[in-house]
């Protein structure tokens, strides 16, 4: 006892943090590419081999991220002539994603320090 204690301060409230599902959705959107449709984004998320969330939850999350300005939403016409929603990450979305991943990494580093 009586050893040195390191104190780390991580200001996780300096920006509006995104949730884990939002983070994963943004990452999947990047992987799916520009103007990705929800089904393509969901397919990327399912590659991990286990369900992260249901399609409805991901679809709702895409709309929420677009409303926050983290994704750009637009209407595209598919090969069958149907109107579909498509999404692309914005500069703000990349910044929020970088902040979220960075905060998780910093906190994980603190948690594992000295273990």
Residues present in the chain in total: 115
Hey, is 97 helix, strand or coil? helix
pLDDT tens digits along 87-97: 999 999 999 99
Q: What is the pTM of this model?
A: 0.79
Hey, is 79 helix, strand or coil? coil
Q: In this structure, are residues 15 and 99 in contact, taking their beta carbons and an 8 Å threshold?
A: yes
Neighbours of 81 (CB within 10 A): 6
- Read off the tokens for 13: 């409230």
Domains and CATH numbers, the chain: 20-112 (1.10.10.10)
Hey, is 28 helix, strand or coil? helix
Q: In this structure, are residues 94 and 100 in contact, taking their beta carbons and an 8 Å threshold?
A: no
pLDDT tens digits along 51-88: 788 999 999 999 999 999 999 999 988 889 999 999 99
């Amino acid at each position: 006892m009586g050893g040195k204690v390191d104190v780390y301060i991580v200001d996780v409230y300096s920006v509006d943090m995104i949730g884990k599902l939002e983070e994963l959705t943004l990452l999947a959107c990047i992987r799916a590419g520009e103007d990705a449709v929800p089904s393509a984004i969901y397919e990327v998320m399912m590659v991990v081999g286990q369900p992260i969330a249901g399609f409805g939850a991901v679809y709702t999350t895409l709309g929420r991220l677009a409303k926050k300005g983290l994704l750009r939403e637009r209407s595209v016409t598919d090969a069958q002539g149907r109107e579909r929603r498509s999404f692309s990450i914005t500069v703000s979305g990349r910044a929020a994603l970088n902040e979220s991943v960075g905060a998780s990494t910093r906190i994980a580093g603190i948690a594992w320090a000295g273990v």
